[in-house]
């Protein structure tokens, strides 16, 4: 039967898988750009995707920090510690990481027209998470009031 615990577990597994994939891609990217993974090496070199490397590595740092924070947040939810000051801190970190990623993508607009769209998306997520963080902070205050009302 599908329940909240399994849903949180699935989210946690997905987060960990994405962290591993992001790290693996960071390691493999130089080889991909050189065309080492492809039979027809010349064809991949024609695309000249070397410019992807600095963009990906600059984007990878806030993305990995955000994913790690998300994993910690999910671990707290699994422990039934939802409305805590610690979780507000994780949400704040994720929100800032999204905004930082948006800044990286905005700068990367110089090399490709796709990045401004992604930058707007990342900024949107950052702002939404900031609002969620504010809601969480208010909920933590209410919970503390409730816990300390005897």
Partner 1 sequence: MSIKLHIDVLMAQRKISAGELAERIGITPANLSILKNDKARAIRFSTLAALCKALECQPGELLEFIDDS
**By the rule CB under 8 A, 46 interacts with partner 1:** no
Of 90, 96, 74, give the one whose Cα is nearest residue 137.
90
Q: Is the dihedral of CA 110, 100, 98, 13 positive or negative?
A: positive
Minimum distance, C-beta of residue 148 to partner 1, in the bound complex (Å): 4
Closest distance to partner 1 from the beta carbon of 141 (Å): 10
| 48 contacts partner 1 (rule: CB under 8 A) | no
Give the DSSP letter of residue 36: T
Residue 33, phi then psi, degrees to nearest 5? -65, -30
Closest CB 85 distance from partner 1, rounded Å: 16
Looking at the Cβ atoms of 2 and 148, the one nearer to partner 1 is: 148
How far is residue 121's CA from residue 119's CA, in Å, rounded to a whole number? Answer: 5
Residues numbered 131 to 150 that lie near partner 1 (CB under 8 A) are 144-145, 148-150
Under rule CB under 8 A, residue 113 binds partner 1: no
């Amino acid at each position: 039967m599908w329940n909240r615990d399994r849903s949180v577990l699935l989210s946690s597994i997905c987060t960990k898988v994405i962290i591993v994939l992001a790290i693996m891609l960071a390691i493999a990217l130089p080889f991909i750009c050189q065309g080492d993974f492809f039979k027809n090496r010349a064809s991949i070199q024609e695309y000249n995707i070397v410019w992807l490397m600095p963009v990906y590595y600059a984007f990878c740092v806030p993305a990995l920090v955000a994913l790690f924070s998300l994993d910690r947040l999910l671990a707290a939810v699994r422990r039934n510690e939802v409305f805590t000051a610690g979780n507000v801190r994780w949400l704040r970190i994720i929100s800032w990481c999204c905004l930082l990623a948006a800044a990286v993508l905005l700068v990367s607009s110089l090399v490709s027209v796709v990045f401004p769209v992604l930058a707007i998306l990342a900024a949107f997520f950052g702002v939404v998470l900031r609002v969620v963080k504010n809601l969480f902070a208010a909920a933590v205050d209410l919970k503390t009031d409730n816990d300390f009302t005897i």
